[in-house]
């Protein structure tokens, strides 16, 4: 399965909110969710973002690819920096033997 981390639109007309989810990258946006990582409410003042950092990092390390919008939200939450550091450690460990 080519997992993707993306935003799933929920909410009423004119009041969008999004769930940050993991799903099969070959399926449409509103299909069955593999994992729910958090939510994003752009209409709140200030915009609210809540992400399960451990679960998001696990999915990234397992090979899930975030979309641009999801990547931006994960960066604001600090998940992408943690992923980059973990990835560098894995590469360093492989190089050492």
pLDDT for res 25: 84
Neighbours of 86 (CB within 10 A): 13
Q: Which of 56, 64, 23 is nearest to 37 (CA)?
A: 56
59-72 residue pLDDT tens: 999 999 999 999 99
Q: Is 80 exceeded by the pLDDT of residue 53?
A: yes
Domain count, the chain: 1
pLDDT for res 29: 73
Owning domain of residue 73:
3-96
pLDDT for res 73: 95
User: How many alpha carbons lie under 13 Å from residue 17 in its C-beta half-sphere?
Assistant: 14
Beta strands across the sheet bearing 65-66: 48-51, 35-41, 15-24, 3-12, 65-66
Domain CATH code at residue 38: 3.30.1320.10
pTM: 0.85
pLDDT for res 18: 95
pLDDT for res 50: 95
């Amino acid at each position: 399965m080519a997992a993707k981390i993306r935003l799933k639109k929920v909410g009423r007309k004119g009041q969008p909110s999004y769930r940050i989810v993991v799903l099969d990258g070959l399926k449409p946006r509103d299909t069955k969710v593999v994992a729910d990582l958090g939510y994003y409410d752009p209409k709140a003042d200030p915009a609210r973002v809540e992400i399960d950092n451990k679960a998001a990092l696990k999915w990234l390390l397992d090979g899930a690819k975030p979309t641009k919008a999801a990547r931006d939200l994960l960066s604001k939450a600090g998940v992408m920096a943690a992923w980059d550091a973990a990835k560098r450690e894995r590469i360093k460990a492989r190089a050492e033997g």
